[in-house]
Chains A and B, each alone.
Chain A
């Protein structure tokens, strides 16, 4: 059992999309994982995956009304999700004992953290075995990511990696070296900007499953392989495959 905390500092950098697709990529390698929506104020995972009604959520787990195993939602694409309640009245749950519940799970647990540096983020960092800081190649996102990294290091988390999301590879963005020097933390992945992500999100499926030959999918597969210490070779004739598997 391993708990990966996905944090960012800045909002809107793509933590939720990253978490979902990382889980999907891990599943492609046969590794089961559970995505836990820890963003109690603005839970988005259920919306991304089109989960209709959430009867059992993380809040019920935290209040010990249900066991953590019973709160897992099995998505039709094969992902396991513990969603968070959309109700505003449930936004005040206590996350301080989060790890106690998560250790009852098996496989990899991916915590989709809220943005910012509040107590909930500290609880996520505290509960995590390793931390992935998602940022965009822009100075504001990297600045916020640096704060989170500092916070994680203050919490004596030494297994920290940075994922640069929405990389366009143009001159108007910070490159990997600049970000790495800024954060003093290894870059573990660069996820390419991919319009298929928006489309997949609209269809409530991970892009890894919707577009297996897209740029971002290859990036997610590389990351998953790296996390699992496995080898990965992208399929040959990617462009041709993309062309042949074209879907709007």
Chain B
């Protein structure tokens, strides 16, 4: 125990002695200065960490201040504070602003209790540089071919050549293989193989044709690396390239198609002359067709870098668009690469024919077809022989055909693959001008005739037809267009009616514009006018309700009589009309009833006929009310007996349409004045339809009618005024009281003759007694025999005309002489 206590005392003494000694000499020291890393690459992240400890009297302390100063070889400095943590000062920072390479000094300074101490530590700064030297905007890299890339790789500013394995080449996302690195002053050239395994097709799958970024990384021996990347620099191309940019193949449906296709060929190695027919294969794809095409021949031109392949395309393709895939195989040792490019193949319908008019002359024309759906335009014109040919795909088109100045636009012209017409040779479109040989429309002066025929279905056609205004005699605005119902193109004959169709005239352009829903012949013409001449009314004055007869003649403006013109008579004020038709020579006779109003109404006479301009004439007719008196009720005959008076009653009737105000005088002629007596000899007035009964009493005595007195007297009764009169007559039969006529008394027969009454008429047949019976029988029998014989004779004569039978009448010389004379004269 004593020993332990003495040892502790010893150490205590030592501590006290130490304290005394320090109090007399205080020290501050920077220790454990460290810079990490000791080598810094400027091309990488140039971050360093500086650490140190501050010791005061050998004890680690937290100094008042601790910092580090970085000093470049050229004397550039920067100072950073150090942070205290766990007895160690440290800081990590970037070497901003330092581009020098070489040995840098890091000086760490601690301040404590007015004491300062500094310790230095050196570190190395280096730099590695890599840049891709661009040659042009891009480099072309054919797959399978080695490309060369220039780089500039330097370490600490000096060009350094690394081994090829120290480089990593990436094109796009695919790593390529550097084959060799050749250092040259100023740069290194790296040979790069894009397809190191020589499987071109796989490589092309991994790296299809296109423009890619190039990134090169260099790995230095120190483990550092540096990289450079150029965007869109490597243009990767297949090892063989076909150029079909100018190739279009069109085949006409239903026809054998053997096109020769010339295409450009670019090859990485070798030349095009190596290719043969076996290297080329062609197939058709599209429109539900997948079919191989026979390659008949292949000729390649090395200098031109092109090949011409001749194909036999099947003729059974339906019209439409196809892809013609042409494949060329290039061999690379055991491997091969096949490139396939599509060519547009159009199997088209052919719209062709010869444009000739009805006389067989060539019609120059330009035809343009515009596809209504795609807007594709196909145009063609006739050649010297009139031939035209346009290849079109099936579809709906607007067809515009220009024939000189005439333009015809057919809308919705349908080219269908089902239209067998297109496969049959012959004209599909015809045009003719001026050949109208017969069947021209009456009443139209022709200015222009054209005929158009299109064999394809269409919706409507628009026509713009110029005309020669010098041929128009009247107002051009009155030009009309007529369409033939049934046109014979070859004969130039309209076998049907001409119907006027709507048209618009452009007088300034000397053209007409119209639409038609079908093709035919069209006439641009002006209407002839109708003229009424020689209008003659049979009477200028008529009574109310009477017929007015109008005669006249219808002409056209060229002076030709017009047959079949409709003549319409009318009194417009009264709505009375009638009609007639002109006959041969243009003559007509029409009748119309006069209005039931007196005056001078206008009679309108109109002539009209289809295709002619109508004409009318107005005249006036005097219509009067009828003034008429009638004597009626007078019998045909009147029988009187001598010495016996007899009365006859008759009536005076105003049968006109106006009241009679003049005095009407009654007179009897034919018999002496003493034989008769009238109840009235005058009538002062009679209103319309008023009648007045007159009694005429006749008495003839034997004294008045002497021995020479006749039996019949035609007796007239006259009713007369200043303006009107009427007469009625009867036969006066004078019968003596002893010798009466057998005529039955007239029972007011009203002027009609009574036929004899044969009622009760009988033939008085004598009663046959027994003695007459045989005689009667014999007579009847003879009659029958004679009658039968006569009929039989006639029958025989008729059956054998010209033969003379027994008993035939002899020819009479005088008669025959007379007949012969007449015969000679005839």
A residues adjacent to B (C-beta < 8 A): 89, 92, 94, 139, 142-143, 146-147, 150, 174-178, 180-182, 186-190, 218-219, 222-223, 226, 232, 234, 236-240, 248
Contact partner of B815 (CB less than 8 A), chosen from A174, A187, A238, is A174
Judge whether B794 and A222 touch: CB under 8 Å. Answer: yes
Contact partner of A146 (CB less than 8 A), chosen from B804, B808, B818, B826, is B826
Contact partner of B794 (CB less than 8 A), chosen from A142, A190, A248, is A190
Could you list 26 A-B pairs, sorted by A, with CB under 8 Å? A92-B583, A139-B819, A139-B822, A143-B826, A146-B822, A174-B815, A174-B819, A175-B809, A176-B797, A177-B802, A177-B804, A177-B808, A178-B812, A178-B815, A181-B811, A181-B819, A189-B798, A222-B795, A226-B798, A226-B799, A234-B788, A236-B788, A238-B787, A238-B791, A239-B784, A240-B780
Bound-state CA distance A236–B792 (Å) is 12
CB neighbors of A among B44-84 (8 A): none
Enumerate chain B residues within 8 angstroms of A236, measured Cβ to Cβ. 784, 788
Min Cβ gap B760→A in Å is 13
Judge whether A150 and B794 touch: CB under 8 Å. Answer: no
Contact partner of A248 (CB less than 8 A), chosen from B758, B780, B802, B822, is B758
Bound-state CA distance A132–B780 (Å) is 37
Enumerate chain A residues within 8 angstroms of B798, measured Cβ to Cβ. 187-190, 222-223, 226
Judge whether A143 and B822 touch: CB under 8 Å. Answer: yes
The verdict on A180 contacting B802 (CB below 8 Å), with A139-B818, A239-B783, A240-B780 known, is yes
Min Cβ gap A130→B in Å is 15
Judge whether A177 and B811 touch: CB under 8 Å. Answer: yes
Contact partner of A187 (CB less than 8 A), chosen from B802, B822, B823, is B802
CB nearest neighbor in A for B819: A182
Judge whether A239 and B787 touch: CB under 8 Å. Answer: yes
Bound-state CA distance A89–B826 (Å) is 34
| B589: Cβ under 8 A from any A Cβ | yes
Judge whether A240 and B794 touch: CB under 8 Å. Answer: no
Judge whether A237 and B799 touch: CB under 8 Å. Answer: no
Enumerate chain B residues within 8 angstroms of A239, measured Cβ to Cβ. 780, 783-784, 787
Min Cβ gap A94→B in Å is 8
Enumerate chain A residues within 8 angstroms of B584, measured Cβ to Cβ. 92, 94
Bound-state CA distance A238–B790 (Å) is 11
Enumerate chain A residues within 8 angstroms of B809, measured Cβ to Cβ. 175, 177
Bound-state CA distance A9–B584 (Å) is 27
Counting contact residues on chain B (CB < 8 A from A), the size range is: 20 to 34
Judge whether A219 and B826 touch: CB under 8 Å. Answer: no
Enumerate chain B residues within 8 angstroms of A146, measured Cβ to Cβ. 822-823, 826
- Among B787, B798, B818, which residue has the most Cβ atoms of chain A within 10 A? B798
Residues of A contacting B: mostly: helix
Known: A146-B826, A178-B815. 7 other contacts (CB 8 A): A89-B589, A139-B815, A176-B801, A218-B791, A219-B794, A226-B799, A234-B791
B residues adjacent to A (C-beta < 8 A): 583-584, 589, 758, 780, 783-784, 787-788, 791, 794-795, 797-799, 801-802, 804, 808-809, 811-812, 815-816, 818-819, 822-823, 826
Enumerate chain A residues within 8 angstroms of B808, measured Cβ to Cβ. 175-177
The 6 A-B residue pairs whose C-beta atoms are closest, nearest first, are A186-B801, A175-B809, A182-B819, A187-B801, A239-B783, A239-B787
Enumerate chain A residues within 8 angstroms of B801, measured Cβ to Cβ. 176, 180, 186-188
CB nearest neighbor in B for A242: B787
Bound-state CA distance A180–B823 (Å) is 12
Bound-state CA distance A181–B802 (Å) is 8
Bound-state CA distance A174–B814 (Å) is 11
Enumerate chain B residues within 8 angstroms of A223, measured Cβ to Cβ. 798
The verdict on A181 contacting B826 (CB below 8 Å), with A186-B801, A187-B798 known, is no
Min Cβ gap B552→A in Å is 14
CB nearest neighbor in A for B591: A89
CB nearest neighbor in A for B816: A178
Bound-state CA distance A84–B783 (Å) is 44
Enumerate chain B residues within 8 angstroms of A186, measured Cβ to Cβ. 801-802
Enumerate chain A residues within 8 angstroms of B799, measured Cβ to Cβ. 226
Bound-state CA distance A238–B780 (Å) is 11
Contact partner of A150 (CB less than 8 A), chosen from B787, B791, B822, B826, is B826
Bound-state CA distance A190–B808 (Å) is 14
Min Cβ gap B600→A in Å is 27
Enumerate chain B residues within 8 angstroms of A92, measured Cβ to Cβ. 583-584
Min Cβ gap A217→B in Å is 11
Min Cβ gap B806→A in Å is 13
CB nearest neighbor in A for B794: A190
Min Cβ gap A26→B in Å is 16
Judge whether B797 and A178 touch: CB under 8 Å. Answer: no
Bound-state CA distance A4–B768 (Å) is 51
Min Cβ gap A88→B in Å is 10
Enumerate chain B residues within 8 angstroms of A180, measured Cβ to Cβ. 801-802
Min Cβ gap A9→B in Å is 11
Min Cβ gap B744→A in Å is 19
Bound-state CA distance A202–B799 (Å) is 32
Judge whether B822 and A240 touch: CB under 8 Å. Answer: no
Enumerate chain A residues within 8 angstroms of B823, measured Cβ to Cβ. 146, 182
Enumerate chain B residues within 8 angstroms of A143, measured Cβ to Cβ. 822, 826
CB nearest neighbor in A for B564: A63
CB nearest neighbor in B for A179: B819
Enumerate chain B residues within 8 angstroms of A219, measured Cβ to Cβ. 794
Bound-state CA distance A47–B816 (Å) is 38
Enumerate chain A residues within 8 angstroms of B794, measured Cβ to Cβ. 190, 218-219, 222
Min Cβ gap B76→A in Å is 127
CB nearest neighbor in B for A182: B819
Bound-state CA distance A139–B799 (Å) is 24
CB nearest neighbor in A for B786: A239
Enumerate chain A residues within 8 angstroms of B804, measured Cβ to Cβ. 177
Judge whether A238 and B784 touch: CB under 8 Å. Answer: yes
Bound-state CA distance A178–B820 (Å) is 10
Min Cβ gap A152→B in Å is 13
Enumerate chain B residues within 8 angstroms of A188, measured Cβ to Cβ. 798, 801
Bound-state CA distance A85–B589 (Å) is 16
CB nearest neighbor in A for B590: A89
Judge whether B788 and A238 touch: CB under 8 Å. Answer: yes
Bound-state CA distance A182–B823 (Å) is 7
Enumerate chain A residues within 8 angstroms of B815, measured Cβ to Cβ. 139, 174, 178
CB nearest neighbor in A for B791: A234
Enumerate chain B residues within 8 angstroms of A248, measured Cβ to Cβ. 758
Enumerate chain B residues within 8 angstroms of A187, measured Cβ to Cβ. 797-798, 801-802
Min Cβ gap B160→A in Å is 118
Min Cβ gap B793→A in Å is 10
Enumerate chain B residues within 8 angstroms of A181, measured Cβ to Cβ. 811, 816, 819
Bound-state CA distance A188–B809 (Å) is 18
CB nearest neighbor in B for A237: B784
Bound-state CA distance A177–B812 (Å) is 10
CB nearest neighbor in B for A93: B583
Bound-state CA distance A89–B809 (Å) is 49
Bound-state CA distance A248–B804 (Å) is 37
